[in-house]
Amino acid sequence: MKKSNYGFNFLFFVNSKSADHAAELSNHSNISRNYGDHSDRNGKEVINNNHPDPEKALIYFNRGISKRQMGSHREAIANYYMAVELDPKMSKAYFNLGISYEYIGDIKTAISHFNKVIDLDPEFAPAYFHCGIIKYKSGNIQSAIESYNKTVYLDPKMSLAYYNRGIAKEKMNDFIGALEDYKKTIELDQQNSLAFFSSGAVKNILGDHHGAIKDYDRAIEIDAKAHWAYHHRGIAKSKTGDITGACLDWTKAGELGSRISYEMIKTYCNLS
């Protein structure tokens, strides 16, 4: 098993931009005419596909990373395409293409690039991880779990893969399996407040309300503004008969922005 070496932030690549850009980007042969080894009659560079140039490919790859860091995914994609035309085996360029397409919401194109990475480098764990994210978003939960299985096999220390697999297992009502994955996430990252919260939520479902409260306590220690942790800790406390403690937690959650917590106060707390 080859240990992965990568430096990407995988947390929550949100679909925050319009997918309309995807249509403009999908035909990379048009984009390719703007970059390359030689100049056309308009003074723009064009690629000569008959002469691979891995060194120049790396220049485009690095330029693509810079563009992505500036939030310009369209320009990043153009540069990554230049990189793979100059070096068709540059798996990390395909991976970054997947990241940018995932970001702009073109899921079909994104997963095709992640699959290309897997073809070129079957032991690159992040590609499987992102396939799992996309499959989960697409509603293919079991297939997402399989992608996360492969991820943690290749990189047993990727805490987010265990966490995401736990979310997927919870969706499949495999609460014991989900709890095991949240526990593993916490072992690898003791500052992951969401893992403690999710562990508490599952324990609440399984009837371990005292265990849930302990997990929520830890989530709040890490993130004092986590209104969802206060809210659900209130629910757990109410299940143990501690209505006063529950109402205090719902009050705090409400102060932090949880509207539903105020509804709980109206229903269960003595306001007189």
Residue 10 lies in a domain: no
Any residues with CB less than 8 A from the CB of 38 and at least 6 apart, and which? Answer: 45, 46, 48
Cβ(190)–Cβ(184) below 8 Å: no
- The reply to whether 83 falls in a domain is yes
Task: Check whether residue 264 and residue 210 sit in a common domain.
Answer: yes
Of 80, 74, 84, the C-alpha closest to 96 is 80
- Total number of domains constituting the chain: 3
Determine the Cα–Cα distance for residues 215 and 200; give it in Å rounded to an integer: 5
Q: List the one residue out of 3, 84, 33, 204 whose CA is nearest residue 98.
A: 84
Say whether both 219 and 146 belong to one domain: no
**Per-residue confidence band for 272, with pLDDT thresholds at 50, 70 and 90:** low
pLDDT single digits (tens) 27-84 = 322 322 232 232 333 333 444 455 678 999 999 999 999 999 999 999 999 999 999 9
What DSSP element (H or E) covers 206? helix 193-206
What letter represents residue 168's amino acid?
A: A
Domain residue limits at 29: 15-115
Tens-digit pLDDT profile for residues 181-190: 999 999 999 9
Q: What is the CATH number of the domain that holds 227?
A: 1.25.40.10
How far apart (Å, rounded) are the C-alpha atoms in residues 156 and 123?
12
Is residue 194, in this structure, part of any structural domain at all?
A: no
Q: Which residue has the higher pLDDT, 24 or 131?
A: 131
Same domain, 100 and 37: yes
Residue 119 to residues 54, 78, 153, 254, Cα–Cα distance (Å):
19, 22, 17, 50
